[in-house]
Amino acid sequence: MSLPPEVQYLHSQILNHLKLFFAPKVTHLFDSHLVRFLPYNDAITIKEKIIAIPYDIPISSVPVEPYKVDFSGTKLTLWNRIDRPHNLGWTAIPNELTPLWYRHKEGTLIPGWNLFGNLYKLLTFGEEAESIQRDSHGRFVAAYSQRKECGLLEVPAFNEATAVLAAGCLGLQEKGEPFLNLKDAVKAPVISLSHDCDVLYGNDFWTQAVRAFRVIEPLRRLRFPKLSNIRWIAKNAVIPRRFYFDNVTGMIDLERSFGFTSTFYLLNGTAGRFGARNGLKPIPELCKVIPLHWGKGIHYNYDTFLNSDLFASQYAELQSVINIRIISGRAHYLRFDPDKSFSFLSQFGIRVDESSGFSDFIGYRNGIAGCFQVFDRSASKTIEMWEVPMTIMDSTIVRQYGRDALKVYSAMMHHLSRIGGAMTVLFHPGAFYNPEFPEMIGIYHNILMESRRLRARSLTAAEMINQIKDSVSA
Amino acid sequence: MTEQDILVRLVEDSEMQACNLFHNKLYKKSRSFEQWQWEFKSNLYNSSSVPFAVAVNQGQIVGTQALIPIRMIDRTGVYWTAKSEETLVDPQFRGNKLFERMYTVLFNYAKEHNYVNIWGFTPAAKAFTRLDFSISARTEQLFIPFSQKAISMLLAKGTSGTQSTIKRSLRNIVAHAGGRIAQSVAAFKISMQRRVKLTGLKLENICDPTDETAEVCQRFIDRWGGRTIYRDSNYFKWRFFTNPYVRSNIAGIFFEKELLGWVAFSLGDDGMGYLIDLMVNGDESRISTESLVRELLLEAVIRTRNMGAYGIRSWHVNEHPFDRIVTRVAKKVGFFHIKRGHAFVLYDCDGGSSRSAADNFNEWYITRAFTQGLHG
Tell me, yes or no, if B237 comes closer than 8 A to chain A by beta carbon.
no
pLDDT digits (tens, 9 = 90+) for A335-346: 999 999 999 999
Facing residues of B88 across strands? Answer: B64
Q: Which of B337, B240, B298, B295 is nearest to B38 (CA)?
A: B240
Does residue A222 share a domain with residue A89? no
Tell me, yes or no, if A406 comes closer than 8 A to chain B by beta carbon.
no
Does residue A258 share a domain with residue A155? no
Does residue A255 share a domain with residue A139? no
Does residue B275 share a domain with residue B234? yes
Does residue A258 share a domain with residue A400? yes
Instruction: Please tell me the least confidently modeled range out of A221-225, A353-357, B68-72, B305-309.
Output: A221-225
Does residue A257 share a domain with residue A223? no
CB B119 within 8 A of CB B109: no
Residue B123 lies in a domain: no
Domain count along chain B: 2
Tell me, yes or no, if B246 comes closer than 8 A to chain A by beta carbon.
yes
Q: Which residues of A fall within a CB distance of 8 Å from B247? A: 256-259
Question: Domain containing B23: what range?
Answer: 3-115
Residue B140 lies in a domain: no
Does residue A251 share a domain with residue A231? no
Q: What is the ipTM of this complex?
A: 0.92
Q: Which of A289, A370, A377 is nearest to A338 (CA)?
A: A377
Residue B334 lies in a domain: yes
The amino acid present at B128, given as its one-letter code, is F
CA nearest A449 in B: which residue? Answer: B269
Does residue B332 share a domain with residue B263? yes
Where does residue B71 fall: left (phi above 0), alpha (psi -120 to 50 degrees), or beta otherwise? beta
> Which of B307, B310, B374, B375 is the mutation pick for testing A, counting most A CBs within 10 A?
B307
Q: DSSP letter string over B131-155? A: TT-EEEEE-EEEEEESSHHHHHHHH
**In the listed set B115, B132, B157, which residue is the last one of a domain according to the structure?**
B115
Where does residue A73 fall: left (phi above 0), alpha (psi -120 to 50 degrees), or beta otherwise? left
Q: In sequence order, what E strands does chain B have?
A: 7-10, 52-57, 60-74, 77-89, 117-122, 134-138, 140-145, 201-205, 228-229, 249-255, 258-267, 273-280, 311-316, 336-338, 343-348
Question: Domain containing A225: what range?
Answer: 203-238
* Closest CA of chain B from A201, distance in Å: 14
Percent of chain B with pLDDT over 70: 95
pLDDT value of position B158: 64
Q: Hey, are the CB atoms on B249 and A257 less than 8 Å from each other?
A: yes
Q: Which residues of B fall within a CB distance of 8 Å from A406? A: none
Does residue B196 share a domain with residue B259? yes
* Closest CA of chain B from A77, distance in Å: 30
Does residue A229 share a domain with residue A277? no
Does residue A58 share a domain with residue A23? yes
- pLDDT for B163 beyond 80: no
Does residue B181 share a domain with residue B105? no
- pLDDT for B164 beyond 80: no
- pLDDT for B356 beyond 60: no
pLDDT digits (tens, 9 = 90+) for A416-430: 999 999 999 999 999
- pLDDT for A167 beyond 60: yes
User: Domain holding B207: CATH number?
Assistant: 3.40.630.30
Sheet holding A35-38, edge to edge: A35-38, A51-54, A109-111, A101-104, A90-93
pLDDT value of position A2: 86
Q: Hey, are the CB atoms on B267 and A291 less than 8 Å from each other?
A: no
Of the pLDDT bands very low, low, confident and very high (cuts 50, 70, 90), residue B340 is: confident
Q: Hey, are the CB atoms on A257 and B248 less than 8 Å from each other?
A: yes
User: Domain holding A364: CATH number?
Assistant: 3.20.20.370
What is the pLDDT averaged over residues B190-198? 86
Domain count along chain A: 3
Residue B130 lies in a domain: no
Facing residues of B313 across strands? Answer: B143, B274
* Closest CA of chain B from A69, distance in Å: 29
Q: Hey, are the CB atoms on B306 and A247 less than 8 Å from each other?
A: yes
Q: Hey, are the CB atoms on A445 and B267 less than 8 Å from each other?
A: yes
Does residue B18 share a domain with residue B68? yes
Does residue A273 share a domain with residue A142? no
Does residue A308 share a domain with residue A218? no
**Residues composing chain A:** 474
Does residue B158 share a domain with residue B78? no
Tell me, yes or no, if A293 comes closer than 8 A to chain B by beta carbon.
no
Which residues 407-446 on chain A approach chain B with CB closer than 8 angstroms?
432-433, 435, 441-442, 444-445
> Which of A200, A241, A253 is the mutation pick for testing B, counting most B CBs within 10 A?
A253
Does residue B326 share a domain with residue B218? yes
Q: Which of B168, B174, B157, B6 is nearest to B96 (CA)?
A: B6
**In the listed set B69, B98, B115, which residue is the last one of a domain according to the structure?**
B115
CA nearest A250 in B: which residue? Answer: B307
d(CA A278, CA B211): 42
Tell me, yes or no, if A231 comes closer than 8 A to chain B by beta carbon.
no
- pLDDT for A221 beyond 70: yes
What is the pLDDT averaged over residues A451-473? 93
Does residue B161 share a domain with residue B59? no
What is the pLDDT averaged over residues B59-64? 96
Does residue A394 share a domain with residue A292? yes
Q: Hey, are the CB atoms on A256 and B266 less than 8 Å from each other?
A: no
What is the pLDDT averaged over residues B280-296? 91
What is the pLDDT averaged over residues B68-86? 94
Q: Hey, are the CB atoms on A257 and B376 less than 8 Å from each other?
A: yes
Query: Tell me, what DSSP letter sits at residue A22?
Result: B
